[in-house]
Amino acid sequence: MGKIFSDSVEKALQYIYYDNKTRADRGQEGLQLLVNAANAGDGDAACVLARCLLGDSYVWSGHHFPVDEDKAEQLLKQSVLQGSALGILVALRSQVLTPELMDQMPLSLQDAFTQVLEKAAAGDAFCQFTVGNTYFWWDFMTIQGKGPQDFPTLEGFEAHMRENITQCEDWFWKAFRGGMYLAGNNLAHYYSNGDEDFVPAQPEKAKDIFKMGAEMGYAIHQYFYAGELEKAGRIEEALEWYWKAAEGGQPDTWYLLGNKYEKGNGVPKDMQKAISCYERGAEKGETGSCNAMGRICYFGLGRPQDRAKAFEYFHFVYTNKNNSFGAPYLARCYLEGWGTAPNYEQAYNLAWEQKGELESLYVLGKIYCEGLGMPQDIAKGVDFFRRAGDMPEAKEELTHYKRTLLGRWVRR
């Protein structure tokens, strides 16, 4: 057994949160460890797995874990009923701990907090973060069962609140240094904003947190810190940290770098370096980079034109990432049979989805003028070609049509 949790949970926490050297590569392995352990009845594993399925507000987006809120809720309830103290506190924070569920759980809230506090004191960063959250989000009030009515004076209640809320600071620092970048995010918020009338803001303490996180190897904080440096005009330093964030797996950072090199934003224009960055992001299936590579292949920007390859990039993003940037280009590919068999119905639907874009207007013009997959309507087709403005292909198509003396559009 592990020191604090089962071997599976401790390895998973190491792969998913704590180890900067393996985090980008072994997250999926960690997730599978949690799945197997949760299926075998490990309540702590079910709790951590639930967090992993709740999106990038709860776990690093660079893991590319699926988001499944219903499954996460089910896992948290399972964790509570299996007697996981950690699961009980996380379920409380996630608003899953209903009165009905509390009646069935084998531990009281106070007992659960005591157990997690012991694990936090023993050095587990996830538990330290969880304890910090009970103070940061005021869950301690529910755990203690105390409210304003339990104090003889308002001043007494306010003192009690300050005494508890401020305890989040120490626990967040421990968790932050132990591998939980999310604790750093909460610290930055705590220092920047204070906590209502109980704790004043201390913005001077917030200003170096992302720098510290960057230096500790958190890719997301490297990205944040790079943004701070860029905003301050320290472009060269910012680029260094953006590169580190990209190398560390921070999603969409390769796209950001590629875009800078393509447009010469703070760096000399370098299309080949831009393509290299886009390709590295596309290898990870990231939306921005895949769309950028689709555009580059489609138009032949910095490399030979390859419409079939462009189709692959755009099709992947459209079907897997719920992103319609490439819809007009896909429409043209389906119209012309570039990288796929011609499919006029698909071409029409995709073009209509973004009918204000040039490629879409061209596709709709061709479909209506030539009656491809639908009744011919040259007048409507000509209107779409005209709306495409100076697009060369659309202007060329317009030369093939004329209006008769009776005002009817026909092919020349």
For residue 301, the domain's CATH number is 1.25.40.10
Reported as a single tens digit per residue, the pLDDT across 9-39 is 999 999 999 987 777 789 999 999 999 999 9
Whole-prediction pTM: 0.91
Q: What is the mean pLDDT of residues 271-281?
A: 98
Contact status, residue 165 vs residue 191, Cβ threshold 8 Å: no
In a domain, 20, yes or no: yes
Distance CA 58, CA 224 (A): 17
Q: Is the pLDDT confidence value at 106 over 90?
A: yes
263 and 358 both lie in a single domain: no
Task: Pick the closest to residue 138 from 199, 78, 80, 192 (CA basis).
Answer: 199
One-letter amino acid of 50? A
Over residues 181-206, the mean pLDDT reads 97
Residue 134 and residue 95 in one domain? no
Q: Is residue 306 part of a domain?
A: yes
Residues 134 and 34 in one domain: no
Is the per-residue pLDDT at 2 higher than 90? no
When pLDDT is cut at 50, 70 and 90, the band that residue 392 belongs to is very high
**Domain range for residue 224?**
213-245
Amino acid at 281: G
Tokens of 224: 């944040």
The answer to whether residues 100 and 3 belong to one domain is yes
With respect to residue 337, please indicate whether it lies within any of the assigned structural domains.
Answer: no
Q: Does 298 lie in the same domain as 351?
A: no
- Do 32 and 80 have their domain in common? yes
Average pLDDT rounded to a whole number, residues 350-358: 96
Distance of CA 168 to the CA centre of its chain: 26
**DSSP-derived secondary structure for 327-361:** HHHHHHHHHHTSSS---HHHHHHHHHHTTTSHHHH
pLDDT of 1 higher than 70: no
Residue 257 and residue 200 share a domain: no
Structure tokens at 23: 């985090």
- Placement of tokens 């609140």 in the chain: 161
* Model pLDDT, residue 50: 98
| Closest CA relative to residue 137, chosen from 167, 114, 108 | 167
**Band of residue 77 on the pLDDT scale cut at 50, 70, 90:** very high
The answer on 188 and 145 residing in a single domain is yes
- Evaluated on CA atoms 149, 150, 153, 155, the torsion sign reads negative
Residue 3 domain-assigned?
Answer: yes
The residue-averaged pLDDT of 45-52 equals 98
Look-up: residue for tokens 């990038």?
56
Tell me how far CA of residue 305 lies from CA of 114, 245, 296, 316, in angstroms: 64, 31, 8, 19
Same domain for 372 and 400, yes or no, is yes
Residues 6+ apart with CB under 8 A from 42: 6, 8, 9, 82
pLDDT per position as a tens digit, 143-155:
999 999 999 999 9
What are 199's strand-pairing partners? 195
Tell me the per-residue pLDDT of 214-228, one tens digit each, with 9 for 90 and over: 999 999 999 999 999
Instruction: Count structural domains, the chain.
Output: 5
End-to-end CA distance of the chain: 82
H or E stretch including 411? strand 409-411
Q: What gap in Å lies between CA 241 and CA 250, rounded to an integer? A: 11
16, 74: one domain: yes
Residues 86 and 144 in one domain: no
What DSSP element (H or E) covers 401? strand 401-403
Sequence-distant (≥ 6) Cβ neighbours of residue 249 within 8 angstroms: 23, 24, 62, 219, 284
Mean pLDDT in residue range 365-394: 97
Q: Determine, yes or no, domain membership for 391.
A: yes
The domain boundary, picked from 60, 78, 107, lies at 107
Under 8 Å between Cβ of 176 and 140: no
b or e along 372-396 (b: 16 or more beta carbons within 10 Å of the residue's beta carbon)? beeeeebeebbebbebbeebeebee
Can you give the pLDDT at residue 19? 87
For 28, the 3-state DSSP assignment is: helix
Could you report the per-residue pLDDT of 294-351, keeping only the tens digit for each?
A: 999 999 999 999 999 999 999 999 999 999 999 999 999 999 999 999 999 999 999 9
